[in-house]
């Protein structure tokens, strides 16, 4: 099975750098809606047979243009929701972001018993994500697109893809509407083919971000002060 893991478009919580993981979650910004509208063209070369989304509103908004363009009914699955922030929910400070991602990548590295403060542990998080992957693989679909969340995609891929490790996933945050492409099955394992348009294990083109609708904004963002840079590994986490 070919698996397209797509991070949702930009949200209002993203602008404030908040750990927004609870239902229903923030909606897409105007730029996020334009990013979502660009997905059908960005994925024009993919024969998508099934489309899955999480229970958070931002993934459903992101998937809507693709669903309309392909005549697909999005399948809503709670297993694709963002990693629960627990006691860190709606915090936007560097310490919270660092603890959140450190815990997530500990799960990828095998410390699945570790629990997010007030939230889920790695066994629970991986089990729910694995269940959706298994459902999709069992459906017989050749190519499946799943609109999920930055930390969930990075954590699961680092844990399950044979050629993506924690240092790589930690060093490569996902832009909004960026795509990670994998091939495989739950039984045979998974191999990542590309990360935000850059081939895994191959040369990285200087312009690879153009392959993602989020790589270059569809229209210029509003003029304003430059965004505050997040701590290493914290960007693209919800």
196 and 205 Cβ atoms separated by less than 8 Å:
no
Note the pLDDT tens digit of each residue in 113-163: 999 999 999 999 999 999 999 999 999 999 999 999 999 999 999 999 999
Radius of gyration of the chain, Cα coordinates, nearest whole angstrom: 16
Note the pLDDT tens digit of each residue in 126-135: 999 999 999 9
Query: Does residue 217 surpass a pLDDT of 70?
Result: no
Kindly report the number of other CB atoms within 10 A of residue 147's CB atom: 31
Query: Does residue 223 surpass a pLDDT of 50?
Result: no
List strands edge to edge, sheet with 198-199: 75-76, 50-53, 143-148, 2-7, 179-185, 189-195, 198-199
Annotated catalytic residue 82: yes
Q: What percent of the chain stands above pLDDT 70? A: 85
Give the Cα separation of 158 and 211 in Å (integer). Answer: 22
pLDDT of residue 209: 38
Annotated catalytic residue 172: no
pLDDT of residue 238: 73
pLDDT of residue 201: 72
Structure-token match 């298994």, residue found: 134
- Which residues are within 8 A (CB) of 190 and not within 5 positions of it... i.e. 6 or more apart? 3, 157, 160, 161, 162, 182, 183, 184
Residue 107 in 3-state DSSP?
Answer: helix
- Mean of the per-residue pLDDT values of the chain: 89
Summarize the confidence of residues 186-192 as an average pLDDT.
Answer: 98
Query: Does residue 206 surpass a pLDDT of 60?
Result: no
Residue 60 in 3-state DSSP?
Answer: helix
Topology of the domain covering 2-211: Rossmann fold (3.40.50)
Domain boundaries, the chain: 2-211
Note the pLDDT tens digit of each residue in 1-13: 999 999 999 999 9
**Band of the pLDDT at 222, cuts 50, 70, 90?**
very low
**Band of the pLDDT at 205, cuts 50, 70, 90?**
very low
Query: Among the options 8, 120, 149, 172, which is catalytic?
Result: 8
| 230 or 227, greater pLDDT | 230
DSSP 3: E
Q: How many helices (H) and strands (E) would you count in the chain?
A: 7, 7
Kindly report the number of other CB atoms within 10 A of residue 231's CB atom: 13
Query: Among the options 10, 82, 149, 172, which is catalytic?
Result: 82
How far is residue 89 from each of residues 53, 127, 129, 149, 219, measured CA to CA in Å? 21, 21, 20, 15, 31
Q: Which helix (H) or strand (E) holds 75?
A: strand 75-76
Summarize the confidence of residues 171-180 as an average pLDDT.
Answer: 98
- For the whole model, what pTM was predicted? 0.88
pLDDT of residue 226: 31
């Amino acid at each position: 099975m070919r698996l397209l893991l797509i991070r949702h478009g930009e949200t209002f919580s993203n602008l404030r750098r908040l750990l927004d993981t609870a239902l229903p979650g923030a909606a897409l910004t105007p730029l996020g809606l334009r990013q979502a509208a660009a997905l059908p063209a960005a994925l024009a070369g993919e024969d998508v047979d099934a489309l899955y989304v999480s229970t958070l509103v931002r993934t459903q908004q992101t998937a809507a243009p693709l669903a309309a363009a392909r005549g697909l009914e999005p399948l809503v699955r709670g297993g694709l929701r963002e990693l629960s922030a627990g006691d860190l929910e709606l915090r936007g400070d560097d310490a919270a972001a660092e603890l959140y991602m450190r815990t997530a990548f500990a799960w990828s590295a095998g410390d699945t018993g570790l629990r997010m403060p007030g939230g889920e542990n790695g066994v629970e998080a991986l089990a729910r994500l694995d269940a959706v992957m298994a459902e999709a693989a069992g459906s017989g679909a050749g190519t499946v697109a799943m609109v999920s969340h930055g930390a969930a995609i990075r954590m699961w891929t680092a844990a399950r893809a044979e050629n993506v490790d924690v240092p790589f996933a930690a060093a490569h945050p996902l832009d909004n509407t960026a795509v990670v492409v994998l091939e495989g099955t739950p039984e045979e394992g998974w191999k990542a083919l590309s990360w935000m348009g850059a081939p895994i294990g191959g040369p990285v083109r200087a312009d690879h971000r153009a392959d993602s609708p989020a790589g270059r904004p569809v229209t210029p963002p509003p003029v304003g002060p430059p965004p505050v840079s997040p701590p290493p590994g914290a960007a693209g986490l919800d």
